[in-house]
Every structure is written in structure tokens, then in C-alpha cells.
Chain A
Amino acid sequence: MEISAEELNRVEKKNLFASGHRACGGCGQALAARLVADAAGENTIACVATGCLEIFSSPYPDPNWRIPFLHSLFENVSAVASGVEAAYKILKKGPVNIIAQGGDGSTADIGFQSISGMFERGHNVLYICYDNEAYMNTGVQRSSFTPYGAKTTTTPMGNRTRKKNLPMLAADHGIPYVATATVDDYRDLQRKVKKALTIEGPKYLHVLAPCPLGWGHGGDLTVQICRLAKATCLFPVFEIFYGEISNIQKVPQKLPVEEYLRLQARFKHLFKRGEPTKIVAEIQEIANQNIARFNL
């Protein structure tokens, strides 16, 4: 399916993910879900794993989805989406956009086997991970996407492990399209969704979606924090086609990671009386590795 450059770059606002959801004010995931739904369009089936997004957007009798919506468990949204895709194929219906969506917990931890299986079997499904770096729905527990040094209720002294690099893992399945995006650049996010939906086969889109409650920042800073995550090189934005990395978003003016960390209460313990501890330097090292690896 071909798509013109003009259509690809057009910003969509269709309210397919409508008002009235129960997300906190300034929720990055709600914002991302709306941008994704609007970009995907009416001809879309949304499969959503258990998690914040499912909880706040689908209570009976007033769900916020204006497209068909299928709720699955934490671990099997990829399997459910695969089934939907198979059903459409066997019934010779379609074409239809099938989007599987989940938080970082259901993507990287609980649902990892099913997402890996979906990639391996080659289903024509776009998987979107809304990465808010912990299990926010159940009360901010650590996930394997929780970054180094971040405080959660299960890592009160700060997380000791590094974030799992799922985009690279997904790319190594040899799938046609992998991309990362953030909610601050809505043009880029919607363009990537539209582009992914034109490609046949399994696709993976990783969206950084700040959680004001879990990260400990004001709801008004959601977009600002995303921007800082990119500017400090902690969240590189790129696309991968069949394992070939391309379209890396360069960061001409790199900022120290401190500027990103200081805005969030989950990193507050990294500053003793306003002075950064050595963990901040270690996080800076992670950013430096990103710069070297992706040539940001």
C-alpha cells in the first residue's frame, strides 16, 4: 500500500480516542493513544493489554474508543492481535489496520513471549508500546523498562539495572519496521504510525509516554520532559527497516542529563543537598553510550 508524502506528514485530529477517559491530568499515555488512534484512522481494530490505558479508557458503558476495541490480558495482547489478523485472513475480509497496544510491563516483561512469537510468525500487526518506565497501573512497581537510578515502590533506593533495549531486540527478529517516538513531536509520531501501517508484516513502535504520577512531575511538563529525554540523549529516536537503522533524529544541542533528572521526583534521591551523586554521572555515561552508538 503506497502513501503520498503529503498524506504521511499530515497531522490528524479525528477524536477516535474521545474525551472523558479517566487518565490523570497531563497523562502522556492518553495523549499518545489519541495521536495513534487519529493517525491510524477509522479502519482500525485496537487490541489493548491490561494496564493503565485499558483501565482508564474502557469502563462499561462509556468507553473512549470510537473504533472497535478488544481488551486482552497482560501477557497475550500480541497473541490476540495475531488471532484477529488470522481471522480476517481466513474470512477474506479487510484490509484493516490491527494495532496491538500495551504498556511497558505487558510488553517487556509479562507479554514478552507472545510479542516475540508474533514477530517470529510474521503477523501483519503494528505493536505499539507506551513506555512509561514502570507498572504505573498497579502502583509504580519496577519493570524491566525502568531506567537506571529511578525510584519506584519496589526499588526504593533506586533501580540497579539498566533499561531493556526492546527496539533493538525487536529489530533482531528481522521484522520490517521498528521505530521509536515521543509524544512531544506529534507530527513524527503520527507519521511513523501511518508509515508502519503501509508496511506488510509485524511492526514495532516504541513511544515514550511520561507518567506525571509515577515520574513525579507536574502534568503540564509531560511534553517538556519528552523533549528533554531526547535532548539529553537518554531516548534516541530512530527507525529500523529490516535491521538497517536509519532516520536517526540528531541532537545538535545536547544537554546534560541533570536537566532531565531534576524535573522528576523519581530521581530526587540522586541529588544530595542539590549536588548530584555519582549515579548521575553513571546515567550521563548511559547517555554518552547512546551518543556514540547512534551518532546523535
Chain B
Amino acid sequence: MDKLPLGLALDLSKVVPYKTGSWRTMKPLYIMQTPPCTHSCPINNDIRGFLRVLADKQDYAEAWHILTRTNPFPAACGRVCPHPCEDGCNRRDFDTPLAINSAERSVGDYGLEHRLEHRKEVLTTRKEKVAVVGAGPAGLSCAFHLAKRGFPVKVFEAARDPGGMMRYGIPAYRLPKEVLDREIEAILKLGVDLECNVKVGVNIPFDQLRQDYHAVFLGLGAQKGVTLSIPGDDARNVFTGVGFLQEIHRGRIPEVGRNVVVVGGGNTAMDCARVAKRLGADVSVVYRRTRVEMPAITAEIDEAMEERIMFRYHTNPIKIITDEGRVVGLLCVQMELKEADASGRARPVPIPGSESVVPADTVIMATGQEVDYDGIDLARRENKWISVDEYLMTNVEKVFAGGDAVLGLETVSAAIGQGLRAAAAIEDYLEGHVESSLASPPVVYFKDMNSYYYTRKKRFAKEAIPVHERLKSFHEIYAPFDHREIIGEAKRCLSCGLCFDCRNCLMYCPDNAVNIHPATGKYEFDYDFCKGCGLCVKECPCHYIQLTLEK
């Protein structure tokens, strides 16, 4: 033994520490959890992932690649999605939820500006061919995910241009057509084959498709408008909601006259009303329940109200008054709301003797849509929507379906989510194994987190063009966002359930039992010394650490 300096009884560098880890009854673990934004997103986008890349590295390109792992339409969804992610955001219980939707649009726009290209997951081409019917959000999403996995995909579209309801249903002031064109172009670059002007069931027999391809995905959508059967609905200037929007899209702008009445309270009704307003008419929306029961997304109702569209609630049309085949008015009756019906909404009942006439030069019936089953015979739910099993397969072997035709009328993101799930199911089907449904980790809620470490910060607010400017054209109503402001917004992300390097566990451990791994830079517990006191668990802001029983 070397001689120690005077006064030292021990060589401190040769001390063998006593392992206190054996005292432990509870054991802390780093476990990544599901954030509520991802949990409530119909596409399960990795929202926390792309926001962290933005906040930490300001890397828009990487953020775009993270988003497009699941969603091929970030720029479109960033504009039209009713963002259930923001409803889920844990920041809601702290100050205000993150403007995830705006961040998504900003990242999507960056991808379009810089013409970023999607990355394939499988580089080889597989031999099984898949046909996709309908180039809407569901169909294109399914084609996108199949193409990424190396399947040759052919998409059949009945209309002249791809996009489905995103093109024909959503007006340009909400989703500019060039944004959609470019996002579709990026999908097609993956090697997806697209054929427009072909209606499956009419131009090609459905059975031939089943013979030629190893699997078929039907993203038919709900393209056919349903009118209320009331007297006078055969008059000129009576449109279905979908029919009206398609006319506008084709550039055949109808003479709507001075007064336009839109019947219905869904998204199509809002779109029709706002389009008609831009054509210079006075628009009123007639709905038989109240605003609370309206199925349209809140933002759209708000924007419609800003644009001075009149809402008549508790009102139901019973007759269209015509004069020489032209509409002159709409006879309506007042309704009162009674106990809830099967849909969970209050049941409207007419009040006798409350009829009144609403003047109208055009009536748009946005009262429902249905699937166009021309030449395609499948089992149906409620005689309307395609019935599918849990793997989205229809009653016909190797035919899968998704989107509005299955869900009923839903959002773009729900359709994209179905396309994603269908692609996974088709891959599993073609490879002959049952879908491996791996359980995702549990969701983190705000009560599990330590709010002390977060500071309140104002939410990013997108600025709309003033109403009088908006109504002059079909230009998009929200100007592009400042990329730096979006990074500031991304920094508000609480990073629920994933470490964001706050060093609390490292600094607060009384036993020095947390180390940083020299190679990976990740935190790790030294279980030789951890006593399991749980201090790190309590002080972890984002609930990334959990206490489990020691075995």
C-alpha cells in the first residue's frame, strides 16, 4: 500500500462504496408514455415528437418528416382539421392548449416550400398489387402508406382531379388548391399510380378489380347529396350541398340571386353558406336544432358568424314556394326540442301554427350525404354506410374500406387515420398474419405531472384577414405564420411523458443514483445505490419516471 499523506486514514480513490440499492422496495423506471395529443389524434401523429424537434433544434425539415410518418397531408390538416389534439392537450389544465394545428400548418407549408420528399420504409418493391378506389383523404392516405411499405399501388378516381372531398367539398378560402395539389404530388412521387376519370363499377367492373389485384381498398366517400323530400325541391335554384360546391369548383358559378337559404348544420352547410356569401348574397342558415347540436366544427361556425351569416335555429323547412319553376321562398315551421333521440341530440318537434316564409332565391339542401354505390355491392350498416370488421375488411374477401363511406360523415383527419389503419391491415392480410395490436403505453394526464416546473405563456394566435376583405375573394383567410413564432409556440409543449432534459432527477437524487450515459447522453438509474425514495418520480415534470414494485 502506498504511503498516504499525513492525516489521511484512507485512500479515498480506492473506497468501495456500500451498495444501498438492496434497501429498495420501490423502483423508479424511465418509461415513455403516450401524450394526450397523440392519443386524441385520429391519425396518432407524433405531435410531441415534431414539437420537440422544432423547440430544441428549430429543424423544420425533420419536423416535417416526423409528421409525415403518419400523415401525408400536414399542410391540409393544419388548415382544416378541427384539432382534437388541442382538446386533449394537457396545457388546457394549466393555461391554454398549444396551437398544435397552426404548428402543423407551418411545418406542412415548409415541406411544400422546400419540396421535401417522403422517405420510403421499404426500398424493395413487393409483388402484391393493391388497388385503391377513390383519391380522397382515406384513399390517398392508404395508397401513401402502402407505397411506403413497397407495394405497387394504383388509385382509381372518378372525378377529373384527385383529392375527393378535400378538393370538391372544402372551399379554397379554407384549403387553397395549390396546397392540396402539391401534397398529392408528393404522395404520387412515391410511385403511386393514379388514374382519374375512371369510375369503378361503371367504367371498370368491380369484380375485375378484385381479380386483377391482391387487395382492394375502397375510399368511396359520401359524394351524393341527400335532399329533404319536400314539395318544390325539383325547382331550379335548389341544390344539394355537395352539388353546389362541385358546381363552384368546376367554375360553373350559379346565379344565386339576393337571398340564399342553406338548410342544415353540418360542415357542408357552413361551406355552402360561406361560399354563397362570397358570391354576394345574403345568406341565412336554417337549422332545426340549436348551435349546440350543430355537427359542424366550432371554428367554422364561428367564422361563418363573423362573416355575417344569419342563423335561424329551431326552424325546419316544409315547402319550397316556387313561381314558374323558380324558388321565391321557403315555408318553415318553428320547432321545439324534446327528449334526446337515438343520435343523442335533442329531438325537434314542430310547433303547430308557427309557419312562416323565409324569402329565398336559392335553396341549398346540405341535409346529408350518402355513398354512391353504383356497381359496387357490399354489406351495409343502417342501409347506408359500408360495414367492416375490426381490420376494416368488408364482407367481401380482400376488399377493405375506410373513410366517410364507413364512418359516416367525418373529418379529413379521421379519413386519413382510416387509410393508415387500412394500409397496416392490408399488409398484414397479404403477409398472412393477424394484425399485431401492440398496446401503446398509457396516457399521461395533467394530474400526474408536476406543474411547478412550467411557466405560463401566451398562446400563439393566428390572425385572420378582416371580414370585409375576406368576402371579396376565395383567398385563404389566415395569412402564413411566422416560423419563429411557431418555434416559440413549440417551446410551450409540456413534453408529457418524455424526458426533455430538465436534469431534475439528476440533481435531486440524494443518493447520486442517476447518471448520464456517456455514449447515448440519456439518463439512467444506478440501481446499485437507488433507495427507491421516489423523489425523482415526484419531481419529474412530465411523468417520464414511474415508481414500480421492486421484484
Our pick among B12, B452, B507, B512 for the contact of A186 (Cβ within 8 Å) is B507
Residues in A with CB closer than 8 Å to B13 are: 66
Residues in B with CB closer than 8 Å to A212 are: 533
A17 to chain B, nearest CB (A): 8
459-514 of chain B: CB within 8 A of chain A: 503, 506-513
Minimum CB distance partner of B28 in chain A: A220
User: Interface-forming stretch among A20-28, A142-150, A174-182, A288-296?
Assistant: A20-28
B531 touches A25 (CB 8 A): yes
Question: Does A221 have its Cβ within 8 Å of any Cβ on chain B?
Answer: yes
Residues in A with CB closer than 8 Å to B10 are: 60-61, 63
Residues in B with CB closer than 8 Å to A35 are: 507
A26 touches B510 (CB 8 A): yes
Question: Does A76 have its Cβ within 8 Å of any Cβ on chain B?
Answer: no
Our pick among B15, B23, B507, B529 for the contact of A63 (Cβ within 8 Å) is B15
Residues in B with CB closer than 8 Å to A60 are: 9-10
Our pick among A11, A20, A67 for the contact of B19 (Cβ within 8 Å) is A20
Our pick among B17, B23, B508, B535 for the contact of A62 (Cβ within 8 Å) is B17
Our pick among A61, A63, A66, A219 for the contact of B535 (Cβ within 8 Å) is A219
B535 touches A26 (CB 8 A): yes
A112 to chain B, nearest CB (A): 28
Residues in B with CB closer than 8 Å to A28 are: 510
A61 touches B538 (CB 8 A): no
Question: Does A157 have its Cβ within 8 Å of any Cβ on chain B?
Answer: no
B538 touches A62 (CB 8 A): no
A65 to chain B, nearest CB (A): 7
B538 touches A21 (CB 8 A): no
With A13-B507, A20-B18, A31-B510 known as contacts, the answer to whether A68 contacts B8 (CB < 8 A) is yes
Q: Determine the distance from Cα of A28 to Cα of B509 in the docked complex, in whole angstroms.
A: 10
Q: Determine the distance from Cα of A30 to Cα of B512 in the docked complex, in whole angstroms.
A: 10
Minimum CB distance partner of B10 in chain A: A61
With A63-B10, A220-B533 known as contacts, the answer to whether A19 contacts B15 (CB < 8 A) is no
Question: Does A15 have its Cβ within 8 Å of any Cβ on chain B?
Answer: yes
Our pick among A15, A17, A220 for the contact of B538 (Cβ within 8 Å) is A220
Minimum CB distance partner of B509 in chain A: A31
B416 to chain A, nearest CB (A): 42
Residues in B with CB closer than 8 Å to A129 are: none
Q: Determine the distance from Cα of A23 to Cα of B513 in the docked complex, in whole angstroms.
A: 13
Minimum CB distance partner of B529 in chain A: A19
Residues in B with CB closer than 8 Å to A68 are: 7-8
Minimum CB distance partner of B539 in chain A: A223
Question: Does B350 have its Cβ within 8 Å of any Cβ on chain A?
Answer: no
Question: Does B534 have its Cβ within 8 Å of any Cβ on chain A?
Answer: yes
Our pick among B18, B23, B526 for the contact of A25 (Cβ within 8 Å) is B23
Our pick among A17, A19, A22, A223 for the contact of B508 (Cβ within 8 Å) is A223
Question: Does A64 have its Cβ within 8 Å of any Cβ on chain B?
Answer: yes
Our pick among A26, A66, A224 for the contact of B533 (Cβ within 8 Å) is A26
B17 touches A19 (CB 8 A): yes
Question: Does A222 have its Cβ within 8 Å of any Cβ on chain B?
Answer: yes
Minimum CB distance partner of B534 in chain A: A220
A25 touches B508 (CB 8 A): no
Proximity bits, A51-78, B CB within 8 Å = 1, else 0: 0000000001111111110000000000
Question: Does A191 have its Cβ within 8 Å of any Cβ on chain B?
Answer: no
B20 touches A21 (CB 8 A): yes
Q: Determine the distance from Cα of A60 to Cα of B535 in the docked complex, in whole angstroms.
A: 28
Our pick among B15, B18, B503 for the contact of A22 (Cβ within 8 Å) is B18
B522 to chain A, nearest CB (A): 16
Question: Does A151 have its Cβ within 8 Å of any Cβ on chain B?
Answer: no
Our pick among A18, A27, A61 for the contact of B512 (Cβ within 8 Å) is A18
198-224 of chain A: CB within 8 A of chain B: 212, 218-224
Question: Does B16 have its Cβ within 8 Å of any Cβ on chain A?
Answer: yes
Question: Does A192 have its Cβ within 8 Å of any Cβ on chain B?
Answer: no
With A219-B535, A220-B534, A220-B538 known as contacts, the answer to whether A27 contacts B17 (CB < 8 A) is no
Question: Does B532 have its Cβ within 8 Å of any Cβ on chain A?
Answer: yes
By CB atoms of chain A within 10 A, which of B12, B528, B532, B537 has the most?
Answer: B12
Q: Determine the distance from Cα of A256 to Cα of B13 in the docked complex, in whole angstroms.
A: 48
A223 touches B510 (CB 8 A): no
B533 touches A219 (CB 8 A): yes
Q: Determine the distance from Cα of A28 to Cα of B510 in the docked complex, in whole angstroms.
A: 7
Our pick among B9, B23, B508, B534 for the contact of A31 (Cβ within 8 Å) is B508
A64 touches B17 (CB 8 A): yes
Question: Does A266 have its Cβ within 8 Å of any Cβ on chain B?
Answer: no
Question: Does A173 have its Cβ within 8 Å of any Cβ on chain B?
Answer: no
Q: Determine the distance from Cα of A218 to Cα of B539 in the docked complex, in whole angstroms.
A: 13
By CB atoms of chain A within 10 A, which of B13, B535, B538 has the most?
Answer: B535
By CB atoms of chain A within 10 A, which of B12, B19, B508, B511 has the most?
Answer: B511
B512 touches A223 (CB 8 A): no
A80 to chain B, nearest CB (A): 13
With A18-B17, A20-B529, A22-B18 known as contacts, the answer to whether A224 contacts B538 (CB < 8 A) is yes
Q: Determine the distance from Cα of A68 to Cα of B9 in the docked complex, in whole angstroms.
A: 10
A19 touches B526 (CB 8 A): yes
Question: Does A34 have its Cβ within 8 Å of any Cβ on chain B?
Answer: yes
Residues in B with CB closer than 8 Å to A17 are: 512
1-60 of chain A: CB within 8 A of chain B: 11, 13, 15, 17-28, 30-31, 34-35, 60
Q: Determine the distance from Cα of A35 to Cα of B507 in the docked complex, in whole angstroms.
A: 8
Residues in A with CB closer than 8 Å to B533 are: 24-26, 212, 218-220, 222
Question: Does A227 have its Cβ within 8 Å of any Cβ on chain B?
Answer: yes
Q: Determine the distance from Cα of A13 to Cα of B531 in the docked complex, in whole angstroms.
A: 19
Q: Determine the distance from Cα of A294 to Cα of B19 in the docked complex, in whole angstroms.
A: 44
A66 touches B12 (CB 8 A): yes
Q: Determine the distance from Cα of A18 to Cα of B10 in the docked complex, in whole angstroms.
A: 15
B15 touches A223 (CB 8 A): no
B452 touches A227 (CB 8 A): yes
By CB atoms of chain A within 10 A, which of B509, B526, B533, B538 has the most?
Answer: B533
A209 to chain B, nearest CB (A): 10
Minimum CB distance partner of A34 in chain B: B512
Residues in B with CB closer than 8 Å to A186 are: 507-508
With A18-B17, A19-B526 known as contacts, the answer to whether A223 contacts B538 (CB < 8 A) is yes
Known: A64-B17, A218-B534. 8 other contacts (CB 8 A): A11-B507, A18-B15, A25-B23, A26-B533, A62-B16, A68-B8, A223-B535, A227-B452
A-B contact pairs, 12 of them (CB 8 A): A11-B503, A18-B17, A25-B533, A26-B510, A28-B510, A68-B8, A218-B534, A220-B534, A222-B510, A222-B535, A224-B538, A224-B539
Query: Top 6 nearest A-B pairs by Cβ distance?
Result: A25-B533, A20-B17, A219-B533, A220-B534, A26-B533, A19-B529
Give A contacts to B, CB under 8 Å.
11, 13, 15, 17-28, 30-31, 34-35, 60-68, 186, 212, 218-224, 227
Give B contacts to A, CB under 8 Å.
7-10, 12-13, 15-20, 23, 452, 503, 506-513, 526, 528-529, 531-535, 537-539
